[in-house]
Structure 1
Amino acid sequence: MASIKDIVFDSPHPASSARFWAQALDDYEIAPYDEEELTRLRSVGINDPEDDPTVLLVGTDGRLPRIFFQLVPENKRAKNRIHLDLSTTDAAAEVKRLCALGATVQAEREDWITMQDPDGNEFCVMRS
């Protein structure tokens, strides 16, 4: 049997995408850059983690799945075939907070609000 280790997002700028989702989600943070990782990045010509083509979000308690952002050259072209549903106790306040972080409202339904992250990836905020 398999289990989910990572959810992977394609991104034009992984560091920015990771920052948005680290702020959007409870209990997730950007994986720390230790000296070994910084050395690895420098070995491939990357001197600043802001330019890292692969940025990882980890659960603060070590839980899975991790959320991984990878650099891709092309822009998003179509509707997502998979998306995240976020739960909250106050959907209106959460939508407002997420918009302040750079998300946009795409559509409102009875039970959820469809939004887009700054890269255009759809996700939903559930009303209940």
Structure 2
Amino acid sequence: MPAKFKDLVLDANDHHALADFWCAALGYRRKDELDPPEDGWVRPAEWPVPIADPTGEAPLIWVQPVPEPKTAKNRLHIDVFGSLDELLGLGATLVRKRDDEIEWDVLADPEGNEFCVFAPR
């Protein structure tokens, strides 16, 4: 096996705000809140923010600061089961509504990263 999946990484201009969006959207929490360092160490604000599924079932996501804005369509994106209205209420924007051609909605997070939303099962 040449590789094994580890984590997902999202680039962001405001990595703290985007981490908060995805925590609210997915029910994730900042990893340092779930597993605080025993020595009281605090992650510097300019470092990437790891967010984690509190159940440990879903992958860790790193939200890392980058200076440049998003300029093109994602080549890799996240698919989620969820509520269109709730995600829009959190700050996502609708890119394409489900229709006769696709059975999902395409949204963008507050920094423009596209993701697909499927109706909950």
Structure 2 length normalisation: TM-score?
0.82
Distance in 2 separating the partners of 1:119 and 1:109: 21
Partner of 1:124: 116
Greater fraction of residues in helix: 1
How far is the alpha carbon of 1:64 from its aligned partner?
4.8
Name the CA distance, whole Å, in 1 between partners of 2:16 and 2:58: 20
Q: How many residues align?
A: 111
**Could you say which residue in structure 2 is the equivalent of 1:65?**
59
Runs in 1 of length 4+ with deviation above 4 angstroms?
A: none
Give yes or no for contact 1:6–1:64 (8 Å, CA) kept in 2: no
Residues 49-81 of structure 1: per-residue CA shift (max 9 Å, x gap): xx3330001121234520001110000000000
Q: How does 1:26-105 map to 2 (within 5 A)?
A: 26=27, 28-32=28-32, 34=37, 35-36=40-41, 38=42, 41=44, 51-88=45-82, 94-105=83-94
* Aligned AA (2:117): V
Scaled by the length of structure 1, the TM-score of the pair is 0.78
Q: Deviations over 1:58-115 (max 9, x none)?
A: 1212345200011100000000001111114xxxxx1111111110001012300000
Using the aligned pairs only, state the percent identity: 39
Aligned-residue RMSD, C-alpha: 1.7
Structure 2 gap segments, 5+ residues each: none
Gaps of 5+ in 1: 42-50, 89-93
